Structure 1
């Protein structure tokens, strides 16, 4: 894969940033988002559902399919989505999906271990609404969970945390035996042969892109597709024989980005552009339905890495 053209300077081809309003964070609005209202509550830093005339406008725009809200995105079922399809609705990330497809189930883990009455092991660890914890806060959370469970991966989403437990280690957990709140977030647990990330549709997993804070957008090769920083994961590296256990501060940190728009196999070596600044922060290919990303300058540091993730 060629790295030509990658630069931390704004790219001339992407100098026109009029495809987005409020380009940084959860209030960003895509150019095809023509809703005459905003669903972002700036004072409380959260989204709300459309109501009254807003709801009727959505019906007229998208038809009479199911409309459902899930905290940080809105899902509308339709057999004939408008073209070009907007990536947001009133500034809220928008999923347009076929009828009878549930946009909620793929985010739910396969276990019933969490219980709200089990004591929070680190109530002092808190972070802002709809944001990700810092690396140090993640280390505190992993340290607090260590006596309770054998953690393989932790995924921080805007409203809750997903903890994936190791399998094949001989440990068993009873239903409702683990804390349902860890730090400042509701916490759920996944304990199955199938990794939790295999259930999550349309995600790209890559080394942390520059500017990949919660809710930030990146364009992929122009206006046909974009990625939203959806979650952040920390995964325990497999220890090398003789090296011993890896410390919680050394877990691999990655961005999980949700893909919006049309992704085709013709996207070869296209730039990943940070919407706020127009910077080229990476490059991606699409081969056989797999998006492969190269992160250029991890969070402002020098470095290159790549990873593929299936786009459904």
Structure 2
């Protein structure tokens, strides 16, 4: 079988983006069909994104070295590179795990230095710990998707209410999907194993995104984050992101891995989430033993 050409991959990515919209949002796809100019504009946006991804994949066909920034600058503007650098700095929320004087553990959730969602939650039982883990999982997935959005030049202005609803929806999806749980657990394991290897950490994020795309949570996250946008704007956003993912999967993630590798070691807040999950899993056993001792 002949190897897919760059044009084949671009076409596949554009077709895949439109098909995703048709399947996931048939009403809005019908609106596109009724407005050929808008549909063509959306197709061109998806094509431009896929073309950029394929060109970057060719640039980074070899494993990225220490010259990623210079190689990215050959294809992307300074503003785009700046946006990518900010990709893992778009917060869902921050979770701080602490222990009270009475021995009980708790978490405090904040966003922009303000209380977020339930604020502080004390761990009276393992269900409380599981709630914290699921929400930390959700924040990891949402921020991975935000990173992809920044890679295609999109930085959504997400309100507190929208972010809260997005996190809740994703946490519920993870709770009901062993596939998603496994994808996040596999990611955390790969992230920790990578140590300070930026390429391996970036590859782990790409594989998480791949898993989210396969599990159909990707569309849910993008749609939720963009719910304050006008319908065409969020459809174009979805088309760009979908085209990027399809093209990235067809090129072994070379472009996206390189873009992530350029910033990942500076993503201190994102890295803290993985440390929190490990801490919370240990605390769950402590809480279980504490409660068994009360009977």
TM range (shorter): under 0.3
- By relative contact order (CA 8 Å, sep 6+), the higher-ranking structure is 2
TM-score with structure 1 setting the length = 0.24
More helix by share: 2
TM-score with structure 2 setting the length = 0.25
